[in-house]
Amino acid sequence: MKNLFLIVFSFLLFFLSCSKSDPCESISCLNGGECADGKCLCPNGFEGTLCDKESLPKAVIVTAIKVTKLPANKTDGTKWDADGTNPDLYPALYTLKADNTADQVLWTSDVIKINAQTNQQHDFTLILPKLFMNNYDKTLGLFLLEKDDSSSENMGGIAFQLKEVVKGKPATITLDCATCKVAYELKVTYE
């Protein structure tokens, strides 16, 4: 009887020590990730232990800018141009300080819309110089400027976090708010 107990115990010990559990058994990879050796292998565009975080693109390339909203006059009610004509528009991208004032200029359009009508949208389809955005750690501000001879005036701007507006990698990024003086649609591609 003692020998039988010892044989059964040895058999169970041998059987249990030989069976290995699947290291992927309790792991559920997300977003199309597949488990191998207990770790998720994530598809392009996702990262994290369970492929649960969307990867940020290396760069966001702006291929066109549409100005969808702009103020007709200055805050004092006067026209933008000193000669009473419509504004001469161009967009510019800045990093912003903590108080949302402009800090460092990242990009300024070389294309200017002369005497732009204020009651319609304006397309900047020729982006010169090229506009690449990859500043994920800073707040950015896209400003609409009015050009007069040797100076420029700020018509308004909108602040945004690049990492927030690229979620889902949309082909068009809309920058707008109910109280904003200006608004934009950015056509983009991703690297």
User: Once rounded to an integer, what is the mean pLDDT over residues 103-116?
Assistant: 96
- What's the chain's Rg over C-alpha atoms? 29
> Is pLDDT at 156 greater than 70 in this prediction?
yes
- Identify which of 176, 163, 138, 143 has the alpha carbon closest to the alpha carbon of residue 59: 163
Task: Enter the pTM of the model.
Answer: 0.81
Picking from 9-18, 96-105, 154-163, 175-184, which range would have the lowest pLDDT averaged per residue?
9-18
Q: Which CATH number fits domain 2-54: 3.65.10.10, 3.40.50.720, 3.20.20.10, 2.10.25.10?
A: 2.10.25.10
Using an 8 Å Cβ cutoff, are 107 and 130 in contact? no
pLDDT in the model for residue 9 = 56
Tokens of residue 75, six digits? 């805050």
User: Cα–Cα distance between 132 and 19 in angstroms, integer?
Assistant: 54
Considering the chain, what is the average pLDDT of its residues? 91
User: Once rounded to an integer, what is the mean pLDDT over residues 46-59?
Assistant: 95
> Is pLDDT at 187 greater than 70 in this prediction?
yes
User: Cα–Cα distance between 147 and 113 in angstroms, integer?
Assistant: 9
Q: Output the CA angle 60-171-142, nearest 5 degrees.
A: 55
User: Cα–Cα distance between 14 and 8 in angstroms, integer?
Assistant: 10
pLDDT in the model for residue 83 = 84
Q: Which CATH number fits domain 60-190: 3.30.365.10, 3.40.50.300, 3.40.630.30, 2.60.40.1110?
A: 2.60.40.1110
So where are the chain's domains?
A: 2-54, 60-190
Comparison of pLDDT for 18 and 72, the residue scoring more: 72
pLDDT in the model for residue 15 = 53
User: Cα–Cα distance between 129 and 94 in angstroms, integer?
Assistant: 15
Tokens of residue 171, six digits? 């082909």
pLDDT in the model for residue 148 = 84
